[in-house]
Amino acid sequence: MPVKRKAAAEPAEEFDSLEDLNAAIAAMKPLVPGATQAVLGEGPEGAAIAFVGEQPGDQEDRQGRPFVGPAGLLLDRAMKDAGIDRHRVYVTNAVKHFKFEQRGKRRIHQKPTAGEVRHYRWWLQKELDFVDPAIVVALGATAVLALAGKAIPIMRSRGESVFDGRRGYITVHPSALLRIPEEEGRQQAYEDFVADMKRVRALSRQSKTA
Ligand code: URA
C-alpha cells in the first residue's frame, strides 16, 4: 500500500526543535495498545549518518532506547567493524512503539502494517529534517516503506538510493542476519552488511564527517 498520503497522525501544531517534536512523540498513545513507552531517536542533531530501523523490540520498549537488544548489538558490532562511532550517528525507527503478541511470558514482535508505518511517517520525516544527515540508511523493508513512501524489494535495490530528495542507502535489517540458521551463510551476510556500512561511511564523508 503506498504511504505518500498525508500521515494519519500529522498534528496541527508546528515544532521548533527536535526536543519539542520528541516531547510530542513521547506523549503520543501507541496506535496499537501495549507498548510501555515511545522509543525516541538517539544521537546528535547534524549527525552525518541516520539509521532507520523498523520499530522498537522488547528490550528497546523496556529501556526506552533504540537498538539496544540483540539486533542492536549486531548493528553496534557492524558499525564498529566499519569504523563508524555509534555515538556520532543518529539511530531511530520508522514506528515509535513496540507491537507484540503476548505468548505466556514472552512478547513476540509483530511486524507493523503499512497503515501503521504511514501513521508515523510524518514524524519520522520531521525528525530527519531536524537531524539533517548527509545520508539516511534504511535498515530493512519497513524502513524503506517509511522513507520511500512505497514498498521496494530490498535485495534488488540494496545500495545507494534517494528518499524524498534525501541521499539514502538501502540495506538489510540486522535481525534478518540473526535469523540465518547456518553459520557460513550468517557470516557471509554479516560481511556484506559491514561492506554496506563502510560504503555508507564513505558516502557520508563526501559532505559531512561521520
Ligand atoms: N529493531 C528495530 O528495528 N529497531 C530497534 O530499535 C530494535 C530492533
DSSP assignment of 138-185:
EESHHHHHHHHSS---HHHH-EEEEETTEEEEEE--HHHHHT--SHHH
Q: What average pLDDT does this structure show over 117-126?
A: 96
Which residues have C-beta atoms less than 6 Å from ligand 1?
53-57, 60, 66-67, 69, 71-72, 93, 175
- Closest atom, ligand 1, to C-alpha of 60: 6
Model pLDDT for residues 77-107, shown as the tens digit of each residue: 999 999 999 999 999 999 999 999 999 999 9
Express each pLDDT in 160-207 by its tens digit.
999 999 999 999 999 999 999 999 999 999 999 999 999 999 999 986
For residues 151 and 145, the answer to whether their CB atoms sit within 8 Å is yes
For residue 12, the model assigns a pLDDT of 80
CB 121 within 8 A of CB 149: yes
* Res. 26: pLDDT tops 70: yes
Question: Which tens digit of pLDDT belongs to each residue from 31-89?
Answer: 999 999 999 999 999 999 999 999 999 999 999 999 999 999 999 999 999 999 999 99
Set out the domains of the chain in order of their start, with CATH numbers: 18-205 (3.40.470.10)
**Pairing of the two strands 106-109 and 100-103:** antiparallel
Q: How far is the CA of 12 from the centre of ligand 1 (A)?
A: 28
Residue 169: per-residue pLDDT: 98
Ligand 1 pocket test, candidate residues 60, 63, 110, 137, most atoms within 8 A of CB: 60
